[in-house]
Amino acid sequence: MIIAAIRSGTDPTAPLPPATFHRWLEEPLYCPKCEAAYNLVLDYDQAISRHFLNDSRRHFQMLRKAITLGHATGHHISHFETNGVVVIPHAAPKAGPTISIQPLTHRIQ
């Protein structure tokens, strides 16, 4: 089971979990120390499964812990993904170095 937690108000920084259809769960995960909320997305077939609550309990615990630990860094990681027993943070790609070009002050003949 792969569950992605994406901070509300931001776009995913990595591809969403592989699925034919995605389902966004109605109840987000909240940071217990501030107002940050993370929306959850997963495969539709897994979300409507009969045993979803029991199968996903460990994944939700790991995501809650990652969100709580992310509070120390100001929630700069806006996309977490859990796959099995690992939580993978996806940081936003950093912008490359900017090049400043000086304008020409005289014409070259």
Q: pLDDT grade, residue 37 (50/70/90)? A: very high
**Average pLDDT of 72-101?**
78
- Give the global pTM: 0.76
The answer to whether the CB of 25 falls within 8 A of the CB of 63 is no
Highest mean pLDDT among 13-27, 48-62, 91-105: 48-62
**Average pLDDT of 30-41?**
90
